[in-house]
Structure 1
Amino acid sequence: MGTKIVVPVDGSDQSQKALEYTYEHFPDATVTLLHVINPARAGYGAQAGLPSFSEEWYEEAEAAAEELFEEAKADAPEEMTVETATEVGQPARTIVEFTEENGHDKIIIGSHGRKGISRVLLGSVAETVVRRAHVPVTVAR
């Protein structure tokens, strides 16, 4: 059985670099493109400041994920098996849990390259994944 790799995709240049790295270095792998829908991005409802997102927002987020997958799969090597998955949750935690639950061997993730105070204040999904994952993680810059 070949290598099973998770590549989180979000449409950023950094996730594109992770895809390119994966396609170049692991053409025989089974790759799962993972998009995490973060409900925190939907905003907060007017009632008691509780997070809320509408069904319409969620459907739009799923449709956007499908577009990301189509674009990402277009450049995959012919011999590569490419699967897709959409999950809902906090991105770093969801990436790590998905990888463990589905028996993947590796994560290849893009780095947003934040520096200084923005990195401290905003944190880094890639950094959190590196710290929490139980499989090797490659961060593509």
Structure 2
Amino acid sequence: MTSKILCATDGTENSAHAVELAGRLAAVLGATLSICAVNVAHGGVRGPLVYKWEDDEVKTILDAAAGTARKAGAGKVEELALRSREAASAIVQYAEENGFDHIVVGTGDKRGVSRLVLGSVASDVASRAHCSVTVAR
């Protein structure tokens, strides 16, 4: 039985579909929904460590996603700001360490060269997660 759902968002339209789906799933299953945004770090070693978003941007992304999830019917919604060098690893690790039994992620239309160059967080999460993963489109 699904009791804890983790949904990753980055504030894009693709992740909004995932948040809405996760909200509906949480409502139907009576599950707790946690929405996370992974603030990816760049640089470091010889230069400064720089994150993709400022803290206020992360808060804005999470607040908007929580609102979408509540409109979709989710009861209890938690917002989580994670920091990592790699989004998929952070999502999978957090889910496993905190006993989540379902992950929901969104995906765009990455094909060909853009898929090879950019990779896919959704694909990485689906292949590495310890639990069920739903990829929303």
- Which bin holds the TM-score, normalised by the shorter protein? 0.7 to 0.9
Q: Is 1:130–2:126 an aligned residue pair?
A: yes
Q: Measure the CA separation in 2 of the matches of 1:130 and 1:51.
A: 33
| Structure 1 runs of 4+ with >2 Å offset | none
Q: Which residue of 2 aligns with 1:85?
A: 80
Q: Measure the CA separation in 1 of the matches of 2:14 and 2:46.
A: 31
Alignment RMSD, CA only?
2.2
3-state SS of 1:114 partner: coil
* Structure 1 residue identity aligned to 2:83: V
One of 111, 114, 119 as aligned partner of 2:110: 114
* Structure 1 residue identity aligned to 2:95: T
Matches within 5 A, 1:1-141: 3-27=3-27, 28-40=30-42, 44=43, 50-53=46-49, 61-75=54-68, 76-77=70-71, 80-89=75-84, 90-141=86-137
Identity, % of aligned pairs?
Answer: 32
* Structure number with larger C-alpha Rg: 1
Q: Higher strand share goes to which structure?
A: 2
State TM-score, norm by structure 2. Answer: 0.85
Cα distance change on mapping 1:73 and 1:127 into 2, 3 Å: same
* Structure 1 residue identity aligned to 2:125: V
3-state SS of 2:99 partner: coil
Q: Measure the CA separation in 2 of the matches of 1:128 and 1:32.
A: 20
Q: Measure the CA separation in 1 of the matches of 2:64 and 2:47.
A: 31
3-state SS of 1:26 partner: helix
Q: Measure the CA separation in 2 of the matches of 1:137 and 1:30.
A: 16
How many matched pairs? 132
Cα distance change on mapping 1:79 and 1:138 into 2, 3 Å: closer
